[in-house]
Amino acid sequence: MPPNAVQDARLAQQFSFLIEVDRLKSVLRANTLCDASRRENSAEHSWHIALYAVTLAEHANRPVDIARVIRMLLIHDLVEIDAGDTPIHGTHDPALTEAVEQRAADRIFGLLPPDQARAFRSLWDEFEAAESDDAIFAKSIDRVQPVICNLETDGGTWADYAVTRDQLEGRVGVKVERGAPVVWQHLRDRIARYFS
């Protein structure tokens, strides 16, 4: 292929991906905005937690590459375009959810040129595994933002899902504490006041 044709083909794939991921703006999450005016969409969530990561990076349990963390957070929920949002306090089959998300990752990242598809998919897999320092921190920040939204809305959707303090500790606290223990300690005090 002539150089311009190769570049045009690559750009066509990149724009195909970018147009497809615009659909994330239509995926509604369980939690509401901090002002309780409406439910948050997954694209807003991804942007917001990227900003959380930049703001709270100094509290990471171990040093992180914040640029990598931001990239993880910007792509971590793209699979929701196909899989939908799976509320952490909802009822669902984890094995089925994982299978649906894996297929979604194959399809969505597969829209990109092969080198970018591999890089994005590898980053998404790293986030899901939560074993590297970057992924552990990213996963913890992903859990922090909904807690803040619920605290700011007098419990928000915790009542809808009949969330207990123990459930919050087990489903959220463990992950936040692993990546940002100081942040969880701060939140734990606010959560205790809510559940008292």
Q: Domains of the chain, with CATH numbers?
A: 3-195 (1.10.3210.10)
75 with 126: CB under 8 angstroms? no
Please tell me the distance from the alpha carbon of residue 157 to that of residue 30, in angstroms, as a whole number: 7
pTM > 0.75: yes or no: yes
What's the pLDDT tens digit per position in 25-37?
999 999 999 999 9
Residue 87's pLDDT is 78
DSSP letter at 40 equals E
Q: What are phi and psi of 61, to 5 degrees?
A: -60, -35
Of 170, 24, 148, the closest CA to residue 88 belongs to 170
For position 1, what pLDDT does the model report? 64
User: Quick one: pLDDT at residue 123?
Assistant: 98
pLDDT tens digit string along 88-128? 887 778 888 999 999 999 999 999 999 999 999 999 999 99
- Residue ranges in the chain whose pLDDT is less than 70: 1
139: left (phi over 0), alpha (psi -120 to 50) or beta: alpha
User: Which 3 state secondary structure label does DSSP give 144?
Assistant: helix
